[in-house]
Amino acid sequence: MIKIFLDYMSENNKIHEQEKEYYYYALKQFNEYIIHFVLIILYGLMSNLLLACILYLFTMSSKKIFGGSHAPNHFLCLVITYTHFLLTINLSKNIMIDHFIIICSFALSIIMIICFAPTDHKNKRLSCYQKRKLKKLSIHFCFIITVLFVLFMKNKQSHYISIIWFCIASLSFDLLISVIINKKGGNTHEL
């Protein structure tokens, strides 16, 4: 459908033929983000877990800032993404882990993110300017998510605490994998 739209735009001189590939990629990415967002929100509405799903989307959106490893293909990326989502949302409702362990591992994860984010990979290197900008965003995001974490701890909202904890732990682990692969001179797509 995107291709048909772009062919129409090109034929009517609205875009240049050479630009079609860029527009295709941008529209495809935008389309995937919208579908991802809508599916998770629909799941939240149908399962009466809307706030949990919004919290998940907010927390996991930071992967765009932090960087991290990548699946070797798009299908596997989708499988990992939706499996992670379903496990996080559903297991976090019933998880019974000592608060001391959660607090310590959350703090360690935040420290790892602040130390290592952002990461890039062989196919998408970041300039010094991009790294500085993303480092600042990473620190701001870590501050915001820590404030949310503390507020949920103070109000004894264990489901939301578990969602943030699991997401931040996953993101820091993903970041660590990316750092290790980059140190070896490899590509994070090789996972």
* 74-93 tens-digit pLDDT: 788 888 888 889 899 988 88
For 79, other C-beta atoms within 10 Å of its C-beta total 12
pLDDT at 28 (0 to 100): 73
Q: Any alpha helices (H) in the chain, and if so which ranges?
A: 2-11, 20-46, 50-60, 63-66, 74-91, 99-116, 128-154, 158-183
pLDDT at 64 (0 to 100): 81
Partners of residue 121 on adjacent β-strands: 124
| Three-class DSSP category at 121 | strand
Place of tokens 């959106």: 61
pLDDT at 90 (0 to 100): 87
Q: Any alpha helices (H) in 97-127, and if so which ranges?
A: 99-116
Instruction: Tell me if 44 sits within 8 A of 50, measured CB to CB.
Output: yes
Q: Is the pLDDT of residue 179 over 90?
A: no
pLDDT at 190 (0 to 100): 37
**Phi, then psi, of 121 in degrees rounded to 5:** -140, 175
What pTM was computed for the model? 0.79
Local confidence band at 134 (pLDDT 50, 70, 90 cut-offs):
confident
pLDDT at 65 (0 to 100): 81
For 172, other C-beta atoms within 10 Å of its C-beta total 24
pLDDT at 109 (0 to 100): 93
The domain spans of the chain are 1-46, 49-190
Local confidence band at 187 (pLDDT 50, 70, 90 cut-offs):
very low
Local confidence band at 4 (pLDDT 50, 70, 90 cut-offs):
confident
> Tokens representing 3?
């291709």
How far apart CA 93 and CA 87 sit, in angstroms, is: 10
How far apart CA 101 and CA 179 sit, in angstroms, is: 25
Local confidence band at 169 (pLDDT 50, 70, 90 cut-offs):
very high
Please write the tens of the pLDDT for every residue from 25-51. Answer: 777 777 778 888 899 999 999 999 999
Local confidence band at 188 (pLDDT 50, 70, 90 cut-offs):
very low
> Tokens representing 152?
């949920």
Instruction: Tell me if 170 sits within 8 A of 83, measured CB to CB.
Output: no
